[in-house]
Structure 1
Amino acid sequence: MKILVYNLKMNLDDTIYDLKKVTSKKIGVSERDFASFKIVKESIDARKKPHINIVYSVMVETDRKIRIPSKGDIRVLEDVLKKPFVYGSIKIRERPVVIGSGPAGLFASLILAQNGYKPLLLERGECVEKRTQIVNSFWAGGKLDEETNVQFGEGGAGTFSDGKLTTRINDKRSEMVLEEFYKSGAPEEILYKAKPHIGTDVLKKVVCNMRKRIIDLGGEVRFNAKVTDFLIKDGKIEGVKVNNYEEIHSQVVVLAIGHSARDTFEVLYNRGVKFVQKPFSIGVRIEHPQELINYAMYGDAAKHPRLGAADYQIFKKFSKRTVYSFCMCPGGVVVGAASEPETVLTNGMSEFARDRENANSALVVSVGPEDFENSHPLAGVEFQRRWERLAFQCGGRNYAAPVQRLGDFINGRVTRKLGSVKPSYTGKTEFSDLNYCLPPYVTDLLKKSIAFFDAKINGFGIEDAVLTGVETRTSSPVRILRDDNLEALDIRGLYPAGEGAGYAGGIVSAAVDGIRIAEKIMETYSNESL
């Protein structure tokens, strides 16, 4: 029988052998009778710092019969028989086309390839190896590449991030996402950590391996292949045009273009695809010494090697808006994330080790259609552009990011000298007043929230904390409407997917949406003719 035992509280210095002993005692079965022993979840309980526990859930397999209490932290796991997947009967004339190699596009392609559909994956940017070189060149002062940057290229925007694999969605496909990442080279700990992450360095290798798996399974991946038009006739997709000249015909197209594909949004809108405005958030990146955050979260246990770099998640609700942290990157850096000329915007990035000096997080305020200039479905895009262009101006019009000490931001003065915190921004920086880079209602609420956050995280409000502007792309500013079959409204065969289409928020949820899209395609179409 398989038994799940949870809420096993262990000390920081306990080992796997101690965990097995505690488990054995709790279920009343000798360790010798464990046919298998597996950690299924590991989390940190820091509520009573400095007395910090690691809390485990484990799965034990044993032939011994045990008495299961009606209430408690033990339960038997029943074997669930999977229903056989039923493939569709409509013959697909050409292989499915997937646009975009972010999580939604990668996983849609992988699932289709695993099931014999031989997808063609089109990516406007470069492969991850060349992409990294191009992005590093831009950060060093080189020219912005509008097709290969932090937003575009293999792996999507998440490739230059902390590689967080947490999600709020309750979908069993999330486990499949983690398993596939693990098979592609991610560390095993992502399968059980409560807050799994793989960092930008590991994620790049994982993305590369996923591409190779798709190709080995009969799929094709093409880079520098920007979809510039869509062939739509009589309410059906018939294919796409690539790089303004090559037509690729297919009755199935997955639209996994990401939240920054503004030019593609315009093409789709002009082709009759139905969009609606969607709320998102804007603000700044805030940096503190990682040691300060570690001590605030873990107290005197902060330096224990089992704990690593601490993260945080904070929010403060006001009457109409919420101020909150987003995409917190422990031991990371702030990166330049521009994808359009004469704009400056930021993102956060950490490597797997999370061993850099600073902690950074987006500190953002919710905005919505009522803040946009008009009711046009793409008005949110223009709203983002406005503040990104102002940040470019405030930074000196050379892609330097405007930075400011927190104390100076609150008091409305330009920083003259940095204090104890040095900005980690990957490019150049310029002292400026971020009050001019964001709407007044955003800056006002940011200031009002600092004291509240400082009470939650001791030291959060230090005047030397560094703000870097601006953070505008927390999520897509649009949603592409789709029907119950996950197809674009009134356009058969076009499947909007992931974060760019407005149906996900993060790596795992976007990947899950890509899997759902692939399943819908397979439920509808047969692969027999491919």
Structure 2
Amino acid sequence: MIRLTELRLPLDHSTDALREAILARLNIDSAALRDFTVARRGYDARKRGRIVLVYSVDCSIDDEAAVLAAHENTPSVMPTPDTSYVLPTVTPEGAGGPRPVVIGAGPCGVMAALILAQAGLRPIVIERGKIVRERTVDTFALWRRSELTPESNVQFGEGGAGTFSDGKLYSGVSDPRHLGRKVMEEFVKAGAPEEILYVSKPHIGTFRLVSMVEHIRGEIERLGGSYRFGVRVDGLITEGSPRRLKGLRLSDGTTLETDHAILAVGHSARDTFEMLREAQVPMVAKPFSIGVRIEHPQSLIDCARFGDQGGHPLLGAADYKLVHHAKNGRAVYSFCMCPGGTVVAATSEPNQVVTNGMSQYSRAERNANAGIVVDVSPERDYPDDVLGGVAFQRHWERAAFVAGGGDYKAPAQRVEDFLAGRPSTTLGDVVPSYKPGVTPTDLSLCLPDFAVEAIREALPAFERKLKGFSMGDAVLTGVETRTSSPIRMPRGADGQSPGIAGLFPAGEGAGYAGGILSAGIDGIRAAEWVIHAVTGSPA
């Protein structure tokens, strides 16, 4: 197979235009082109109103060697790379001993468990929350009736925090082994649309994620793995010096024997972080961000990004990515942008308000939303405590709960009022999507001064990049605090904690991922490390 890149065609090109572009690039006759598939489709929107589609394609042609030789100096013509995943081998002898455990059933834990199951190691998955369908009922109870279930919500339960999100599947991580491709292929097998394998900004949406999570669970169980829901890991059992993992103490009073456990607990498992600190698992404080969600009409964002071509079905609902470096030394940036989506209640602890963004696959809701967040660093903001970031988050989440009225409504403010430094008493044309509702107020009550100052400076700067961004009736809803884990758990080249052999920190909660795809990739890595540890082969 031959891969061609940078094939550029008009947005409304004809059905035959891509084939014709391939023939022209390779300078071959039509009969020589046996078949082709799209490997990637993106777009170039730098010239608004003249958007072009950009394709990479894999072609099967006659006499491939001669064609490649004729184009050896053409960077856009190359052999199709091998993106297949090779599962580490486990012999029957290597599969003996206690079964490995995966703690957490989010994207990292699920992919780790799937790889272990495919390798024949029959993992046990421990998940503190409920199965995804029951978890969905509990999550809707908070959104519709202000009823929080602390162990079953947006953060906790099968599928992890990514289940109630936009389902974005793109990442900035270096991936020379194409592990991201493995993640997405497994998602397609589980029911994701096949287009995620080739579009430049793939996404799935919450409703599809729910059924996919169920399908992957079924596959893990078919391969000999098992799940235990509604059970939290409350302690580690170790022996020897240096220490080695020998088991887990669970919240139901039982213990579970294991020599290998992948710790994929997610960024909001604050009580687990406390337990790990008491167990002397090495961890360090890491940066995260704090801010608000901003909502605009999706039509405004479509027009600002795509001009008259906004709304084209191949472009979908427009997104954006913005950064501003404020005079007070803080970076302000858009985070987890959700085109055609909603702002959702994402707290996991009573008497706190946390926001996040979510979209369905269609991205057809009226508003666009994104986090507008400001960087927080341990050195400046909580220098003396490894879990100081947790205390910082909780402080502002409680302040948002109070500012919102004390019933899980969120504090909200019009952009015009926020920039003028006055409380909002009513909202305007942009109807906030957050449920169970918002309370117009002053967001400076629930944000640190440095964040208020930086966001006030950033909004007009973003207006210069994206016309309409600082429109007066755009709605800010607070607070966004769970952008990433406030801690990182160091691990060695073999993936194990330097404090406890057999413990493998992984995913967002351990500070090694920042979204569904990167978490899934890290889950595969963690599973491979466990396989190497079980078999005694080098990692």
Give the TM bin, normalised by the shorter chain. over 0.9
Q: Secondary structure at the match of 2:523?
A: helix
CA contact (8 A) 2:409 2:435 kept: no
Q: Secondary structure at the match of 1:485?
A: coil
Q: Deviations over 1:200-254 (max 9, x none)?
A: 1111111111111111111002211211222122201111122240111100111
2:238 aligned to which of 226, 232, 237: 232
User: Per-residue deviation at 1:370?
Assistant: 2.6
Q: Which moved more, 1:63-72 or 1:180-189?
A: 63-72
Unpaired segments of 5 or more residues in structure 2? none
Q: Secondary structure at the match of 2:433?
A: coil
Structure 1 residue aligned with 2:203: 197
Q: Deviations over 1:245-279 (max 9, x none)?
A: 01111001110000000001101110111110000
1:443 aligned to which of 444, 452, 471: 452
Structure 2 residue aligned with 1:53: 52
TM-score (norm 2): 0.94
Distance 1:183 1:116 in 2: 19
Identity of aligned residues (%): 45
User: Per-residue deviation at 1:175?
Assistant: 1.2
- Structural mapping, 1:240-279, within 5 Å: 240-279=248-287
Kindly provide the amino acid, as one letter, of the partner of residue 131 in structure 2: C
Distance 1:82 1:503 in 2: 21
Structure 1 residue aligned with 2:437: 428
Q: Secondary structure at the match of 1:140?
A: helix
User: Per-residue deviation at 1:36?
Assistant: 2.9
1:76 aligned to which of 63, 79, 86: 79
Kindly provide the amino acid, as one letter, of the partner of residue 472 in structure 2: E
Distance 1:291 1:81 in 2: 40
1:144 aligns with 2:148: yes
Structure 2 residue aligned with 1:376: 385
User: Per-residue deviation at 1:90?
Assistant: 6.0
Q: Secondary structure at the match of 1:207?
A: helix
Q: Which moved more, 1:338-347 or 1:423-432?
A: 423-432
CA 1:215–1:83: 2 relative to 1, 3 Å: closer
Structure 1 residue aligned with 2:464: 455
1:95 aligned to which of 93, 99, 104: 99
Kindly provide the amino acid, as one letter, of the partner of residue 68 in structure 1: H
1:220 aligns with 2:219: no
Unpaired segments of 5 or more residues in structure 1? none
User: Per-residue deviation at 1:83?
Assistant: 7.9
CA contact (8 A) 1:228 1:244 kept: no
RMSD, aligned α-carbons = 1.8
Structure 1 residue aligned with 2:303: 295
Kindly provide the amino acid, as one letter, of the partner of residue 352 in structure 2: T
Q: Secondary structure at the match of 1:134?
A: helix
TM-score (norm 1): 0.96
Kindly provide the amino acid, as one letter, of the partner of residue 5 in structure 1: L
Q: Deviations over 1:12-48 (max 9, x none)?
A: 2224432112112211233433333111111111111
2:165 aligned to which of 157, 161, 165: 161
Q: Deviations over 1:332-374 (max 9, x none)?
A: 0000001001100100000000000000000000011134345
Structure 2 residue aligned with 1:307: 315
Distance 1:78 1:318 in 2: 42
Structure 2 residue aligned with 1:30: 29
Kindly provide the amino acid, as one letter, of the partner of residue 239 in structure 1: G
User: Per-residue deviation at 1:295?
Assistant: 0.1
Provide the aligned length of Structure 1 versus Structure 2. 526
Structure 2 residue aligned with 1:358: 367
CA 1:78–1:57: 2 relative to 1, 3 Å: closer
Distance 1:475 1:361 in 2: 15
1:206 aligns with 2:203: no
Structure 1 residue aligned with 2:403: 394
Distance 1:94 1:402 in 2: 49
Distance 2:417 2:253 in 1: 52
Distance 1:472 1:81 in 2: 38
Q: Deviations over 1:37-61 (max 9, x none)?
A: 1111111111112111111010101
Kindly provide the amino acid, as one letter, of the partner of residue 73 in structure 1: S
CA 1:91–1:199: 2 relative to 1, 3 Å: closer
1:187 aligns with 2:193: yes
Q: Secondary structure at the match of 1:502?
A: coil
Structure 2 residue aligned with 1:385: 394
Q: Deviations over 1:148-207 (max 9, x none)?
A: 000000110000000000100121211111111111111111001111111111111111
